Structures are given as structure tokens and as C-alpha cells.
Structure 1
Amino acid sequence: MRVAVISAYYKEPRHVLRRCHESVLAQAGNVTHFMVADGFPASEVDSWKGVVHIKIPNHADYGDTPRGVGAACAAANGFDAICFLDADNWYAPNHVETMRRIAEETGAQVVTATRTIFTADGRMLGICKESNGVDFNDTNCYFLARSAFPACAAWLFKDVRESISGDRVFWNAVQTGGYTRVHSIAPTVNYVSTLAFHYEMFGEIPPDDSKVIAKLPGSQYFQMFSYAQYKAMGEAPGR
């Protein structure tokens, strides 16, 4: 099975990009890393082993267009499965093998993974309770068989104002697409979060510079605020 891992990247530090890529390089099987530069390509990525380096103009849509472009290229080049991995996150060494085995054993078109939440300074908060493959599934936690590739159109063909919550748009596309799904309880995705919600999930007070993504009263679309701004507005943090 040929597996494509799609990573949109922007201006992340080189050591962060390297951590992401090395985690993909460590995966067993026939795995190719599609790294899609969202307007600011890192020239050294051209020489990295196992990388298809795609360079597109910046779209300022939180990586949604790069994900869609990478998925389209993987599909056109005959890959059997697609995963997504944001540039600041990384996989456990057994991630792809775990997902592939579940897909092959169950026949599921979509396998979802469990993630571990880390702070930006590398401290582990714990196993995520939100992204469980039932209520929600994070972008980094998908394994899509080829029959589920049509869901990837959701990254591209949506109202640009929905980009801040593009992970929710994609999750909705997977749910409404009627694909068979199985969730893996193994925490094989490592996710770096700056969201206030995740600090609260583990009983901590969020830092003032952590982020809140929320709809204000009367607003149709999500917006992003710092935790300090949100508190000043008299709102409770959350999403």
C-alpha cells in the first residue's frame, strides 16, 4: 500500500519541519511525504529523502489549500491512502503501520487516530478527550483509503471565511460522505497546541497568550482571539 502524508507548511523553524519529516521518514512501509510550501518554501526541503516538495503561493487559509493540493497530487499519482500531518506535529514510529493494519483488517474507508497534546514548550498535557472519531477528529489523525479521497475536496471548495475552522468542515465532509470509519485508541499522533481549550481540558489555567477560536454572539463564523482578549470580553473560553 502506497501511503501519502500531506504536510502544509508556512514559516515554521527548520528544526520543527525536520522533526515533522523525520517522524514520517521513520514510518514502516511505502510512505511518501508531500510537503506543501504555502508561499514560503524552504530550499533545503528539496534534498530531503522521501519528500515530494510542492510550492504554491500563500493562501492565508490556515493550510487548507495546501492540504487540498497535496491530496490531489497524491491521488493523481496513484497513492492508495492519504494522511495529513501539520508541520509542527509529529507521528509516533508505528503510526502509519497501525492505521494501515486497522484499515486492512476492518475494510474501513477512514481510520481515525488518538492524539497526545503537548504545549508549545514541549510539555505533555495528556491524551486528547475531544478528537475521538465520534464527536470530532483532528486533521492530523486521519488515514483515508482511496474510496474516501473525494472528502478532500472540502479543503478547497468552501467559503474562505470557514478556513479558521477548516478541520470542522473536513470532519463534516467525512461524516456526511457516508464512509465507514474505525477509531484507533493508540495515541500515535503528537499534537502541539496553543489553544486555551486544551489547557482547560487538563485542569490548567490557560496562559493569556493562548488562543480561543469561537463565534461571538450574532456571528456566523468562527474568529480567533487571545485568551486575554476573550476574558476581557467577558466570555468563557472554548470552541
Structure 2
Amino acid sequence: MRVAVISAYYKEPRYVLRRCHESVLAQAGNVTHVMVADGFPSSDVDSWKGVIHIKIPNHADYGDTPRGIGAACASANGFDAICFLDADNWYAPNHVETMRIIVEETGAQVVTATRTIFTANGRMLGICKESNGVDFNDTNCYFLTRAAFPACAAWLFKDPRESIRGDKIFWNTVRTGGYLHFHSIVPTVNYVSTFAFHYEMFGEVPPDDSKVIAKLPGRQNFQMVSYAEYKAMGGAGGR
């Protein structure tokens, strides 16, 4: 099974990109890392082993367009499965193998994985209770076989104003797509979060500079604000 791991990246430091890439290199099987530069390509990536490096203009849509373009390229080049891995996150060494075995044993067209949440400074908060493959599934936790590739159009052809919630739109597309789905309880995805919601999930008070996706007074669309701003508006936590 030829697996493409799609990583949109923006201005992440080299060591962050390297951590992401090395976790893909560590996967068993025929795995290719498709790294899509969203307007700010790193010349270092050109020389990295096992990488298809795609460079596009910046779209300022939280990585949605780079993911969609990477998925389209993977499909056109005959890959059998697609995963997504944001540049600041990384896989456990057994991630792809775990997903592949589930596909072989169950015939699943979509496999979702469990994730572990880390803070930006590398402290582990715990196993995520939100991305459970029932209520929600995070972008980094998908393994899509070819039957489910059409769902990737959701990254590209939605209302651009909804990009801030693109992960939820994609999850809804997968959830309602009629695909045979299996969820793995093995935590094989490591996710770096700056969201206030995830601190509260583990009984911690969020830092003031953590993020909340909220609707501001007088605004129709969601926006990203700091936890300090959200508290000032009378809110408490959120995503």
C-alpha cells in the first residue's frame, strides 16, 4: 500500500519541520511525505529524503488549500491512502502500520486515530477526549483509502470564510459520506495545541495567550481570539 502523508506548512522553524518529517520517515512500509509550502517554502526541504515538495502561493486559510492540493497530487500519482499531518505535529513510529492493519482486517475505507495533546513547550496534557471518531476527528488523525479520496474536495470548495473551522467541515464531509469507518483507540498521533479548550479538558486554567475560536459581538463569522480577550467578552474556554 502506497501511503501519502500530506503536510501543509507555513513559517514553522526548521527543527519543527524536521521533527514532523522524521516521524514520517520512521513509518514502516511505502510512505511518502508530501510537504506543501503555503507561500513560504524552506529550501532545506528540497534535499530531504522521501519528500515530494510542492510550493504554492500563500492562501491564508489555515492550511486547507495546501491539504487539498497535496491530496489531489497524491490521488493523481496513484497513492492508495492519504493521511494529513500538520507541520507542528508528529506520528508515533507505529502510526501508519496501525492504520494499514485496521484497513486489512476490517475493510475500512476511513480509519481515524487517537491523539495525545501536548503544549507548545512540549509538556504532555493527556489523551484527547474530543477527537474520538464519533463526535469529532482531528485533521491529523485520518487514514483515507482511495474510496474516500473524494472527501478531500471539502478542503478546496467550501466557503473561504469557513476556513477557520475547516477541520469540522471536513469531519462532517467524511461522517456523512457513507464510508466504512473504524476508529483506533491506540494514541499514535502527537498534537501540539495552543487552544484554551484543551487545557480545560485536563482540568487546567488556560494561559491568557492560548486561543479560542469564537463569534465576536456583532460578527457573523468565527474568529480566533486569545483566551484573555475571550474572558473579557464574558466567555470561558472554548474552541
TM range (shorter): over 0.9
Unpaired stretches in structure 1, ≥5 consecutive residues:
none
Q: Which amino acid aligns with 2:37?
A: A
Q: Which amino acid aligns with 2:214?
A: A
Greater Cα offset, 181-190 or 218-227: 218-227
Q: How far, CA to CA, are the matches of 1:214 and 1:175 in structure 2?
A: 24
**Shift of residue 217, structure 1, vs aligned partner:** 5.8
Q: How far, CA to CA, are the matches of 1:54 and 1:65 in structure 2?
A: 12
SS of structure 2 residue aligned to 1:111? strand
SS of structure 2 residue aligned to 1:78? coil
Q: How far, CA to CA, are the matches of 1:43 and 1:224 in structure 2?
A: 30
SS of structure 2 residue aligned to 1:115? strand
1:157-172 counterparts in 2 under 5 A? Answer: 157-172=157-172
SS of structure 2 residue aligned to 1:112? strand
Q: How far, CA to CA, are the matches of 1:147 and 1:218 in structure 2?
A: 42
Match of residue 23 from structure 2: 23
**Shift of residue 215, structure 1, vs aligned partner:** 2.7
Q: Deviations over 1:138-188 (max 9, x none)?
A: 000000000000000000001111000100010011011111110000000
The share of aligned pairs that are identical, in percent, is 87
Q: How far, CA to CA, are the matches of 2:75 and 2:140 in structure 1?
A: 18
SS of structure 2 residue aligned to 1:182? strand
**Shift of residue 223, structure 1, vs aligned partner:** 1.2
Give the root-mean-square deviation of aligned CA atoms: 0.9
Match of residue 67 from structure 1: 67
Match of residue 193 from structure 2: 193
Match of residue 184 from structure 2: 184
Match of residue 89 from structure 2: 89
Q: How far, CA to CA, are the matches of 1:222 and 1:112 in structure 2?
A: 26
Q: How far, CA to CA, are the matches of 1:38 and 1:219 in structure 2?
A: 27
**Shift of residue 218, structure 1, vs aligned partner:** 6.2
Match of residue 215 from structure 1: 215
TM-score (norm 2): 0.98
Q: How far, CA to CA, are the matches of 2:49 and 2:13 in structure 1?
A: 19
Greater Cα offset, 141-150 or 169-178: 169-178
TM-score (norm 1): 0.98
